[in-house]
Every structure is written in structure tokens, then in C-alpha cells.
Amino acid sequence: MRGYVSWERFEQIQQAIASNDRGWEQSGAAQNGSALLAALLRCRRCGRKLSVGYSGNRGDMLRYACRRGWLDNGEARCIAFGGTLVDEAVGQEVLRVVQPAALEAAVLASEEEARQQDHVLQALRRDLEAARLCRQPRPETIRHGGSGKPSGGGRIRTSLEPGLAASARDRASDGTTCPS
């Protein structure tokens, strides 16, 4: 059966065609080339999108032109101009406008990262202190010899810093126990 393809192959072909067709009214960045304003500029005279072309010995000389009326309907060409200086000017202006916001965003992101690191560090310190508290013998578990003084190398902790005591109470209240 010549001339026929499977349904799966047909769908693949249709998808490839759709991904190549950006549509007349669809805007967006160029799919290749270095033009900053490709598919974003419109002709003031006819309202069509300006097309991008590259010329020169190395194909790196950017030009914007309104060619659609001429190509589609044989109308007179509207406008064409070199794009390198325009792209540079627009790029510099965009950077000038967004730079203060970019700096502020970078500072805010840095401050947020520092806060998150502080929270992690505090949590690790609480876990370390809880582990230390679990390793220390409780007064009732220390064996006494005949002298009435604690024997063995253990020591009795008589006071805790308020924050550490609260942390130990929180752990005890949430059911967390010391590993045995």
C-alpha cells in the first residue's frame, strides 16, 4: 500500500509540522539566530511582524524588514533597517530598567538563604543537645556505694540553660525518647 502511513506515524508527522509552524499571530523569541527583537517588532505602516535576516560574509549582519506584504500580496516593501544597533540599545535599556529590581531580588534571596541556614543550624544544635542529654545518666540510675556518694564516672547535671531545658521538655512531650 504505497502512499499510506500508520496512524502513529501520521500523528508524529502532524506533531513535527505543528512544532515548526509558529503561526502568523504567535509572538515569541527567535528559534535561532542572535536577534533580540525577532518576532516582537511590527511594521508601523502595515502592522505585520518584521522578519529577521542575516547577511554579510559570515552571515552575522542582522537586519529587520517588513517583507510579508511583498511576499504574500506583491505589495511595496514597507521598511528595512540594520538591527545590531537597535538590539544593543534595547538590550542596554532593558538592563538599566531591571537592574535595581535584580539587585534587590539578589539581596532578598541571600537574606532568605541565610535565614534558612540559621533555622537548620538551630535545629541541629537542638538535636545535638538532646542527644547529649540522653547520654547523661539520670540521678536515679546512678549506683551508690556504701558511702552515699555517686560511684562510676557519671555526673549529675543540676541546671540547664532555659532554651535547652525547653527543648528537652518539647522532645519529651512529643513522645520522642532517647535511643537506648
Summarize pLDDT for 51-65 with one digit per residue, the tens.
898 888 887 789 999
**Torsions phi, psi for 52 (to 5 deg):** -110, 140
CA 175 to the chain's CA centroid: 38
**Tally of domains within the chain:** 1
**Torsions phi, psi for 150 (to 5 deg):** -60, 140
Residue 74 lies in a domain: yes
CB 48 within 8 A of CB 67: no
Of 8-17, 20-29, 121-130, least confident by mean pLDDT is: 20-29
Residue 125 has what pLDDT?
Answer: 93
Q: Which domain holds residue 62?
A: 28-82
Residue 89 lies in a domain: no
Average pLDDT, the chain: 76
Average pLDDT over residues 101-128: 91
Average pLDDT over residues 93-114: 87
Residue 176 lies in a domain: no
In sequence order, what are the residues at sequence separation of 6 or more whose Cβ sits closer than 8 angstroms to the Cβ of residue 171? 130
- C-alpha distances in angstroms, 137 versus 114, 127, 151, 177? 37, 18, 12, 14
Give dist(CA 141, CA 13) in Å, integer: 78
Q: pTM value?
A: 0.41
Give dist(CA 139, CA 152) in Å, integer: 12
Residue 66 lies in a domain: yes
Residue 76 lies in a domain: yes
